[in-house]
Structure 1
């Protein structure tokens, strides 16, 4: 069976000690030790940098350097010692060995007069390498976590919605909130420092409902979904949809609550218009029905045809009411599309809602298609004019466009966006939100 190899550099000026270390390692039955030797500190440093051994056995007393000086010069540009070092000291230098550990040595052995340290040498080297490997694995995990957090934070901060996480031990206490909270006129730091930052901005009429929903979500572990009004710093009232879910550890243990706040003020305005339209339709139908009922009472004995017309009008009224209800449901539950464009208007990213609207795959769109490729000619001209101004102003509000889907149908949308610029003020990309207003435009045509 092939034995695993361990490359060891022995930096020792005493030939007898070097040979003793060599014998102790070569005779080990578990590992094949591949050995290099150096008599001086300078030679040892050259070999350590050139060969990059798995471990360095370093005698403290060398002709040109002592062990602490060797450790100092072995460090790389990052101030790290790139290879585990085990210090070999005399029995009277135990305090020096401890200092070497503080300076970066992985371990040490005391060279006793009976040379019993040679029996421990292979096992100690194995332990040093095992500890080094565990340390490097931990460092890699930490680096991966930092990279993952940076990637998540970048993605979160690109979408127009406000993203947040809250603690479980203190309901309502924010752990993180995205910079989009500035839409309300507040900085993330203000809300993170105030445990009641969110609750204080909720409309008084909605606070009881919000508290009840939060309590229910915490107790049951179910997803949170509710709508309520928030005050901006300027006192303006805006409607928000709050959707949140409990994030759990792989073991099932709940960790925190993560959610998004989506501004649905426009949806609520459309919903109110539809409600008013529906009420007017109902009043018209009710008035018409009353008129026909009176006429029917007077003429029912002589005019059955008029009664039939009354029934037809009643059915028409019910059909209009049903249609208005369907429109209200559509607008109330209408999703929105998040996406980003580069300075040339090419898609950088887009969510699945937007792709479903377009009838296209992510491979077709991202990095390949411009937003104007999806618009009707008239809307394309409107968008190009607005996009140029948008890159300068930084904001785009309530732009209505017509999108040509892949299947040939069209989609009316309402576009809002904010610009991301670099430190020099140059436009980098957009943060865009698109609402489907196809049904809304149709409703406007109903007399």
Structure 2
């Protein structure tokens, strides 16, 4: 549609008509072309300033009528181009807001860095405040990230970034960062070079994951493994002393392994560069996205899972009771905060096989605080559970003979005696001496 507007109207002039056309937002919903006499060109110019799309000067020979169809077509094309531009801008704003909301929900520092200016950060997520700094402090200063790298790690970090700029290959580097309060934290930096449609590099997109707890647990594990190796080397010492030492170290090892497991539970990352499975849903709990690891674990491809209820794709039961377990995403969407999966949960894969999993779900909020969906991060804990069973067995059995150790024997004997006293029952205790080995 297009409005042809003559300046001289019966009840008002053209400028007043333009004012009446404006909606509540101050916009004119249809393109307007002003027709004016030869002596009113200034009026037409004023009309364009007030929102008219174009104008034609009426001449006495009426030649303007020959130009009118072409001008109308041009006005309509320009209007269509303007509407398409506004639509594209609105879609871009919406996509950017959704991406920023998702990024700012994950428990890691995300950033974009310039490739032409070494160390120049273009964006840093609010999670940077965990180090005591605001994102504005780091984006306003070139080399802010490098200046906060631990001195012992700076050379390695600089070489890694230089290699990425030179080759365009992905970045994967671990180094320490210095917080404002002086505390040193370990981070794993993973980044990719983002390119345009022509393949030209634009910027570096990265994520910093706090791995301080993992580093601490790894160090403890190394120390405990060294102590266990020493114990094994001295296994010819009296069995009682060896068993006591082994029991204490096994208990400590289980504590450390549990701490490592809990740290893995807390590490929630939705980017495909990590090894964890990631599933995102809408506010109704329907799958919007799952990464390749999640597809491998569940047996559903991303295309097949999209739009399906999460319970259909992520079907979990209790390992002991075999009863269906509630999805943490359902609780997360209902309660509005992060929810972890109950212990001893089993994922029933699409092919019928089972996988021991641990996961956590966090809500995704828009700028108004409304919950628009959820992100769930989960991983395979089958080996961890097997290790827990193995450690439990080692804590109650002798490593040399495979028999129950003294502590477990004493516990069984106490239960037998209690049973005999309570139920007036009888039990038999056999004492065997195998070649003076007691």
Q: TM-score range by the shorter chain?
A: 0.5 to 0.7
More deviation, 152-161/346-355: 346-355
Report the counterpart of residue 178 of structure 1 in structure 2: 125
d(CA) in 1 for partners of 2:362, 2:85: 40
TM-score scaled by length of structure 1: 0.63
Asked if the contact 2:287–2:306 (Cα under 8 Å) also holds between the matched residues in 1, the reply is: no
Q: Tell whether 2:363 aligns with 1:411.
A: no
Matched, 1:369 2:314: no
Name the structure 2 match of 1:56.
3
1:71 — aligned with what?
18
Secondary structure in structure 2 of the residue aligned to 1:96: helix
2:29 partner SS: coil
Quickly say closer, same or farther: Cα 1:221–1:401, change in 2 above 3 A.
Answer: same
Per-residue deviation, residues 38-57 of structure 1 (Å, max 9, x unmatched) = xxxxxxxxxxxxxxxx2222
Distance of 2:39 and 2:374 partners within structure 1: 69
Which of residues 84, 91, 105 is equivalent to 2:31?
Answer: 84
Report whether the alignment pairs 1:112 with 2:59: yes
1:247 aligns to 2:187 (yes or no): no
Matched residues in 2 for 1:130 and 1:364: separation?
38
In the aligned structure 2, how far is the partner of 1:105 from the partner of 1:279?
83
Distance 2:283 2:96 in 1: 27
What is the distance in 1 between the residues matched to 2:116 and 2:78? Answer: 36
Cα gap change, 1:390 to 1:107, in 2 (>3 Å): closer
Q: Distance in 2 between matches of 1:216 and 1:439?
A: 36
The one of 284, 287, 293 aligned to 1:353: 293
| SS of aligned partner of 1:202 | coil
Q: What is the alpha-carbon distance in structure 1 between the residues aligned to residue 19 and residue 147 of structure 2?
A: 56
Q: Which runs of 5+ in 1 are unaligned?
A: 1-53, 290-330
2:160 alignment partner, SS class: helix
**Alpha-carbon offset, residue 367 of structure 1:** 3.5
The two structures, once aligned, show a CA RMSD in angstroms of 4.3
Aligned to 1:219: 166
Q: What's the CA shift for 1:68?
A: 0.8
Give runs of aligned pairs for residues 183-262 of structure 1, distance below 5 A.
183-262=130-209
Query: Hey, what's the Cα distance between the residues in 2 that align with 1:361 and 1:374?
Result: 21
1:402 to 337, 344, 365: 344
3-state secondary structure, aligned to 2:344: strand
Q: CA deviation at 1:161?
A: 3.0
Checking the alignment, whether the CA contact within 8 Å between 1:341 and 1:349 is kept in structure 2 is yes
Q: Say if 1:261 and 1:250 are closer, same or farther in 2 by CA, change over 3 A.
A: same
Give the match's secondary structure for 1:79: coil
* Alpha-carbon offset, residue 368 of structure 1: 3.9
Of stretches 195-204 and 94-103 in structure 1, the one that deviates more from structure 2 is 195-204
Aligned partners of 1:95, 1:424: CA distance in 2, in Å? 47
Residues 393 and 126 of structure 1: CA distance in aligned 2, closer, same or farther (over 3 Å) = closer
Q: Secondary structure at the match of 2:23?
A: coil
Native 8 Å contact 2:149 2:175 kept in 1: yes
Structure 1 residue 248: deviation in Å? 0.7
CA shift for structure 1 position 245: 0.7
- Cα 1:421–1:71 change in 2 (3 A) is closer
Residue 159 (1) aligns with residue 100 (2): no
CA gap of 1:380–1:207, structure 2 versus 1, over 3 A, is farther
Q: Which runs of 5+ in 2 are unaligned?
A: 237-263, 265-272, 395-438
Are the counterparts in 2 of residues 390 and 396 from structure 1 also a CA contact under 8 Å?
no
Summarize the Cα distance change of 1:103–1:278 in structure 2 as closer, same or farther, 3 Å threshold.
Answer: same
Q: Give, in whole Å, the separation in 2 of the partners of 1:117 and 1:240.
A: 71
2-side partners of 1:375 and 1:381: how far apart?
6
Alpha carbons of 1:438 and 1:241: their partners in 2 closer, same or farther (altered >3 Å)? farther
CA contact (8 A) 2:282 2:288 kept: yes
Give me the whole-angstrom Cα distance separating, in 2, the residues matched to 1:392 and 1:159.
18
Distance 2:283 2:17 in 1: 54
Q: Which moved more, 1:258-267 or 1:364-373?
A: 364-373
SS for the counterpart of 1:369 is helix
